[in-house]
Structure 1
């Protein structure tokens, strides 16, 4: 096997218009493609991030809630790299998105925080400097 990176991360949402707005307006992901799949009563939204990675946002009727946060089995959280953590926290706050207190990674010394998407999925902002 010759893995050379992550192609995409798939996220299931309960309220498609709300989640679409969050990922495009609040996080600034660019819409690549959007499809309604009538046979599944489901939306699929392909989103691009600035580094070339992708998010896939799916909706399905009545998905079960996430069991716990963040220690549920499966995807623990989505981590997004930023260069100016304080500026991003302020930008999110202006949009009504609350972030947890900033912490420092004990191994790398880098700062990070968490906030949640509209369905409670933990999203981490990880400050990468040099």
Structure 2
């Protein structure tokens, strides 16, 4: 059966802008970066700390996302963080708008939303500290 998520694929409208956002701002290391001449498309594989990956694609004139965040299909992509305040400060220092922090009514975990350069809804979800 399923063992976990291997990757999430994202299509961007401006490859260099999105590459800078995910690599430079969010700090995801590059696994591989390839240009596919036959498709006139970049494919960038990025490593997440848990071993899963993000794939960033560029395509000529991709269609816009129908609506956000309630379009049918993928609602948002959530990243687990250890310190929500630190990540928010990093995003805000780069002029990324971050929604006010909320608390999950079922888990008591803090979370917030922001968007990538194409408006893809992204979530930061802080897990409570593990007991020692």
Q: In structure 2, the residue corresponding to 1:32 is in which secondary structure?
A: strand
The answer to whether structure 1 residue 17 and structure 2 residue 16 are counterparts is yes
Q: How many pairs does the alignment contain?
A: 129
Structure 1: segments with no counterpart, 5+ residues: none
Deviations 1:24-73 (A, max 9, x none): 01111100001111111111000001111100000100001111110111
Moved over 2 A (4+): none
Tell me the TM-score normalized by structure 2: 0.95
Q: Deviations over 1:98-121 (max 9, x none)?
A: 100111111111010000000000
Residue 28 of structure 2 is matched in structure 1 by: 29
CA distance in 1, matches of 2:47, 2:15: 17
Q: CA RMSD in A?
A: 0.7
* TM-score, length of structure 1 as denominator length: 0.96
The unaligned stretches of length 5 or more in structure 2 are none
User: In the alignment, what sits opposite 2:46?
Assistant: 47
**Secondary structure, in 3 states, of the residue corresponding to 2:69?**
coil
Aligned residue runs from structure 1 range 91-110, under 5 A: 91-110=90-109
